[in-house]
Structure 1
Amino acid sequence: MVSRHLVLAGGGSAGHVNPLLATAAELQERLPDVHLSVLGTAEGLEADLVPAAGLELTVIEKVPMPRRPNGDALRFPGRWRRALATARAVVDGADAVVGFGGYVATPAYLAARRLGVPIVIHEQNALPGLANRLGARWARAVGVTFAGTPLAGAQWVGLPLRPQIAALVAEREQDAAARARAGALACGLDPDRRTVLVTGGSLGALRLNTQVPTVAAELIAAGAQVLHVSGNGKADQVRRAREAMPDHVQDHYHVREYLSEMHEALACADLMIGRSGAGTVSELAALGIPAVYVPLPVGNGEQRRNATGVIEAGGGLLVADGDLTTPWLRDHVVPLIADPERLRAMGTAAAQAGVRDGAARLADLILAAAGDSTAGEGHVGERR
């Protein structure tokens, strides 16, 4: 078999970097001699995560389009030419360019188009970003995380899952109860209590941090325990709220600023309360974990759209950030955590809306675009 050279472009946020790395791992498993090059920025997560995964990273200058006439506007043409030249040098001779969005994707798409290299796009969000909307015009194939994403020629492949999450999916399928117990012990939790995981991601979510502790006593009385991950630098406020709780409530309300073993928390979570980024929604659905989704109250509404499919399937609840109040939590979350049968039904519904083999489906598109006869059949568009 001829060795393939594939260029993966994307970065900045975990939403771009994690699926890129998951796809890279799938491609390496299928083609051990594949040559993978990654285009990213020096500022994004990829600067650390890509080399840590043993992949070759070429840094492209982050060149946002200037919004007003100023110094950045004057420097833009030169910076843009340099970014395009860097991308072109990496893309030249490649079998395909795979873009995951972000600043670096645009020069990668333009370089590929000029060199006649096939383009494959993966869009994480239900509402696509500017780079992928542009690249989709020239793409050989477009894979999307969420069905109904408005990109021409889009095929539903789901989200390529991080290896840790993909492994957890398999472990839960083998023995969910045993894996949940192990996860609870790893997180210092009571394995005999139902677990509510609260997290607003690495940056935290103010609304979650202020409102969820107000119903701590009711959640504990309903047989639950809470693992509240506050976000970096946000733990003090939650810890002060915890200190005001009765001792028997404090015993079951656990506060962490950051959790490196998040997969262990997901292993034992019976319900999650958090934002609805594409990665969060996709991972919870793949794992069959019901959730209360609280979309980020800024931006273009993409987080609300991300959660729509799972909500419509019955796999979670959706509440606007401003509506997440003590009365709402008391009326909706406390009765839910007290009803194991309803929780299990919601988890089953979430799993039915989820995709577990997104990396395999996307790899099929990539290898087909690159002209590889080993590309699988039957992944794309199916639900597992």
Structure 2
Amino acid sequence: MKFVLTGGGTAGHINPALALAEILQECDHEVFFAGTPQGVEARLVGQTDIPFVAFEASGFDRERPHTLVTSSLKILRSARKAKAWMCEVRPDAVVGFGGYVSIPVGMAAEQLNVPVVVHEQNSVMGMANKFLGKKAAAVALTYEVAGKDIADASKLIVTGNPVRSSVLSATREQGREMLGIPQDATMLLVFGGSLGARHINAAISSLKKQLLAIDGLYVVHITGPKEYEATCAELALTDEEASRWTVMPYQDRMAETLRAADCTISRAGATSLAEISALGLPALLVPFPYAAEDHQTTNARAYVERGAAEMMADSELDSEEFANKVLALVTDADLRNRMRAAAATFETENAAAKLADVVVDAAMRGALR
């Protein structure tokens, strides 16, 4: 079978698509990716062997009404081009992961009676997925609550958010060796997503003395490129302190880094949570307060309610409660064990295979129409 995957805008849309692609290719299916020429998808898919086809797409600015017209025209032009391309490729199904580019690709598929499957990574469905979900053959969800905007509940299925095999195959030993951390030490990983998080950096830096007073604790602190110098200045680590507190602006090898960690302080983006749950990594989550419809808080709440993580509002990072939660996370092994067991109930490591089943089923049903 042939499948077209589409999505763009953020790595959070692309990584689960690539995880699905790995499963489909393992089953000898042919996979194509449709994205924008300048988006992050062009770079990430370009690192794989998946053929990439570019179509222009953009959103609109509510404060500039004329952009609704220009963006709509761009989408319609791309839909025509995508339709012509699909007539050549003849896919059995199209899978949309969100982002504006999935709209013209999905529209083209509908016009050709090619089944469309939508996957939503967050607890609040994005605009593109809402649009395509109305006519989609199936709507796959990470969180059940995200399906509230789909009228036909029979199309909904909770698969979880797929995680790439590189994350699942990395080992603790590889990560510890890469980072220079003893195998028997306790490692706290601090990161705020690809761009970092100023408030998390400042709050954890203020706990330097208390954290380094804990025997055998190592901290790996990924600040984000823009926050690196300011965080280094705030920490002012001595050579001795720096031997146990590693600060870096970014980390390309997050799979090994996550595997090496015993616990983490993190934002609650879809990809971060998928990887955290797939690896059973105990976490203190700090949702980004300005996410659309506060979806990171809703994302995090699902993990807190299951017992797989704890959560603190960004506005509470300077509180004594935050300090107490951090210290408990790094010192209480029983707490971490309970979180690991709870995280395993999400079965995120099987999400890519579950989604692949949904996609193949939709294609087979489409072939019988």
- Asked if structure 2 preserves the Cα contact closer than 8 Å seen for 1:184 and 1:268, the reply is yes
Output the CA distance in 2 between the equivalents of 1:282 and 1:335: 23
- Asked if structure 2 preserves the Cα contact closer than 8 Å seen for 1:37 and 1:90, the reply is no
Output the CA distance in 2 between the equivalents of 1:208 and 1:347: 23
Output the CA distance in 1 between the equivalents of 2:50 and 2:243: 44
In structure 1, the residue matched to 2:114 is 117
- Asked if structure 2 preserves the Cα contact closer than 8 Å seen for 1:309 and 1:353, the reply is no
- Does residue 23 (structure 1) correspond to residue 25 (structure 2)? The answer is no
Pairing 1:77-88 to 2, within 5 Å after superposition: 77-88=72-83
Alpha-carbon deviations, 1:209-262, whole Å to 9, x = none?
A: 11101112212222321100001132111111221x566434311101111221
SS of corresponding position for 1:64: coil
| 1:72 Cα deviation from its structure 2 partner | 3.6
Output the CA distance in 2 between the equivalents of 1:233 and 1:95: 43
Match of 2:210 among 218, 226, 239: 218
In structure 2, the residue matched to 1:172 is none
| 1:276 Cα deviation from its structure 2 partner | 0.4
Given residue 45 of structure 2, which amino acid in structure 1 is its aligned partner? V
| 1:265 Cα deviation from its structure 2 partner | 1.4
| 1:144 Cα deviation from its structure 2 partner | 0.9
| 1:352 Cα deviation from its structure 2 partner | 2.0
SS of corresponding position for 2:49: coil
In structure 2, the residue matched to 1:368 is 361
Pairing 1:198-217 to 2, within 5 Å after superposition: 198-217=190-209
Structure with bigger helix share is 2
SS of corresponding position for 1:98: strand
In structure 2, the residue matched to 1:159 is 161
SS of corresponding position for 2:34: strand
In structure 1, the residue matched to 2:311 is 318
Output the CA distance in 2 between the equivalents of 1:72 and 1:129: 19
- Asked if structure 1 preserves the Cα contact closer than 8 Å seen for 2:190 and 2:221, the reply is yes
Alpha-carbon deviations, 1:99-132, whole Å to 9, x = none?
A: 1110111112211222111111111111010111
- Does residue 186 (structure 1) correspond to residue 178 (structure 2)? The answer is yes
- Does residue 336 (structure 1) correspond to residue 291 (structure 2)? The answer is no
Pairing 1:41-120 to 2, within 5 Å after superposition: 41-68=36-63, 72-73=67-68, 75-92=70-87, 93-120=90-117
Output the CA distance in 2 between the equivalents of 1:68 and 1:261: 39
Identity in percent: 34
Match of 2:232 among 204, 225, 239: 239
Structure 1 unaligned segments of length 5 or more: list them. 169-178, 374-384
- Asked if structure 2 preserves the Cα contact closer than 8 Å seen for 1:205 and 1:231, the reply is yes
| 1:335 Cα deviation from its structure 2 partner | 2.5
In structure 1, the residue matched to 2:140 is 143
Structure 2 unaligned segments of length 5 or more: list them. none
In structure 2, the residue matched to 1:352 is 345
Given residue 24 of structure 1, which amino acid in structure 2 is its aligned partner? A
In structure 1, the residue matched to 2:223 is 230
- Asked if structure 2 preserves the Cα contact closer than 8 Å seen for 1:203 and 1:231, the reply is yes
How many residues are matched? 357
Segment drifting more, 312-321 vs 71-80: 71-80
SS of corresponding position for 1:158: coil
| 1:73 Cα deviation from its structure 2 partner | 4.8
Given residue 10 of structure 1, which amino acid in structure 2 is its aligned partner? G
In structure 2, the residue matched to 1:38 is 33
Given residue 364 of structure 1, which amino acid in structure 2 is its aligned partner? D
Output the CA distance in 1 between the equivalents of 2:188 and 2:129: 36
- Does residue 271 (structure 1) correspond to residue 263 (structure 2)? The answer is yes
**Relative to structure 1, is the Cα distance of residues 227 and 353 closer, same or farther in structure 2, using a 3 angstrom cutoff?**
same
SS of corresponding position for 2:289: coil
Output the CA distance in 1 between the equivalents of 2:6 and 2:94: 7
Output the CA distance in 2 between the equivalents of 1:222 and 1:337: 9
| 1:79 Cα deviation from its structure 2 partner | 2.1
What is the alpha-carbon root mean square deviation over aligned residues? 2.0
| 1:147 Cα deviation from its structure 2 partner | 2.8
Given residue 136 of structure 1, which amino acid in structure 2 is its aligned partner? G
- TM-score between the two structures when normalised by the length of structure 2: 0.91
- Asked if structure 2 preserves the Cα contact closer than 8 Å seen for 1:212 and 1:326, the reply is no
| 1:68 Cα deviation from its structure 2 partner | 4.9
**Relative to structure 1, is the Cα distance of residues 78 and 127 closer, same or farther in structure 2, using a 3 angstrom cutoff?**
closer
Segment drifting more, 66-75 vs 316-325: 66-75
- Asked if structure 2 preserves the Cα contact closer than 8 Å seen for 1:198 and 1:273, the reply is yes
SS of corresponding position for 1:48: helix
Output the CA distance in 2 between the equivalents of 1:66 and 1:209: 31
Output the CA distance in 2 between the equivalents of 1:193 and 1:78: 57
Given residue 129 of structure 1, which amino acid in structure 2 is its aligned partner? G
- TM-score between the two structures when normalised by the length of structure 1: 0.88
SS of corresponding position for 1:161: coil
- Asked if structure 2 preserves the Cα contact closer than 8 Å seen for 1:66 and 1:76, the reply is no
SS of corresponding position for 1:149: helix
Output the CA distance in 1 between the equivalents of 2:65 and 2:235: 49
